[in-house]
Amino acid sequence: MSRKDRLKGIFDDTVEELAAANFRDEAPRGPAGPVRTMALTLGRMEEESKALQEAILSGEHVVDLDPDLIDVSFVRDRLSEGGLSLEDDFVRSIADNGQEVPILVREHPERKGRYQVAYGHRRLQAARLLGRPVRAVIRPLADTDVVIAQGIENSARQNLSYIERALFALTLEARGFERSVIMRALSTDKTELSKLISVARAVPDHVIRAIGNAPSVGRRRWIALSETLSPKHVARLELLFQRPDFIRASSDERFDMVVVNLAERKAVKTVSESWKPGRGARISASMKAGERSYTLAFKAEEAPDFGAFITGRLDELYREFKKINAGD
């Protein structure tokens, strides 16, 4: 295969996979969805065509690299990444037929003598497992180019889940990437990108990571959760996250458990009691305890004076209460 054909294979393969993956959306988003996706795909195809021409003109060629000299992307986009094994069909295909499509790498910007993969993470994993060099094209790529190439790869593979896309978008924005770049990396538009970032900001990071990637949970349910959460809710979820059944559950099941937990409304348990001292005293008291309240009312001629007496000792009583409950 000629150098030109090899390079063409990289970009043609990417475009075909992207076009197919973009139509595996999790749910219809209205009449504008397919039109928007097609426009984004065509725009990406034009970009890849230009990149191909530049690669050919610059005389780039395919080289064999030691997989151990290649690092993954500087931006983490997946909450969990299933590793390949020697039994995977993808790995066995490369073992039997060789690596037909090279990966795309750049020289590592910070570690001399090393490289950073922009496209082809699974092929890199497979080469490592098989103990063989990985075929690659080395190109001078800016961080923006790496991010966009990573977006292409994720579209061509199993799609990122909604919350992974949201976290990826927020991470890129935090790193200073312009929204136009993030839109290209995620093949999305301005409105949808704003929603992704809004969800990632509204749901605390530790809550997202406790739930996981939730591959079957889509846009609407994550938005609903983000609009429901409050600091009080998050504090209540901490107990849920420690439960063995939550830890054992799948990511989708953990999301459902969070929703159920937040939907539960504990019935306010009200307990009423009364008090009256002995030996003919006329004063009495009634107490009413709720989930987050406690009412104490005295009844007698001396009730105001006794109430004022207790009020004056509240600081002392509270310190004693805290000391007892602290176990001192």
Q: Which residues of the chain have pLDDT under 50?
A: 1-4, 6-35, 37-38, 41-42, 45, 48-49, 52-53, 56-57, 59, 266-268, 327-328
Residue 234 within any structural domain of the chain: no
The confidence score (pLDDT) of residue 266 equals: 47
The confidence score (pLDDT) of residue 47 equals: 52
The confidence score (pLDDT) of residue 54 equals: 55
Q: Is the pTM of this model over 0.95?
A: no
Residue 217 within any structural domain of the chain: no
Whether 154 and 7 map to the same domain: the answer is: yes
SS (H, E, C) 181-241: HHHHHHCCCHHHHHHHHHHHHHCCHHHHHHHCCCCCCCHHHHHHHHHHCCHHHHHHHHHHH
The confidence score (pLDDT) of residue 52 equals: 44
* Cα 321 from Cα 302, distance rounded (Å): 26
The confidence score (pLDDT) of residue 82 equals: 57
Whether 9 and 154 map to the same domain: the answer is: yes
Q: Which domain holds residue 319?
A: 271-325
Residue 44 within any structural domain of the chain: yes
Whether 145 and 281 map to the same domain: the answer is: no
The confidence score (pLDDT) of residue 253 equals: 94
| Tally of structural domains, the chain | 2
Residue 155 within any structural domain of the chain: yes
The confidence score (pLDDT) of residue 6 equals: 44
Residue 244 within any structural domain of the chain: no
Residue 91 within any structural domain of the chain: yes
The confidence score (pLDDT) of residue 269 equals: 55
The confidence score (pLDDT) of residue 158 equals: 54
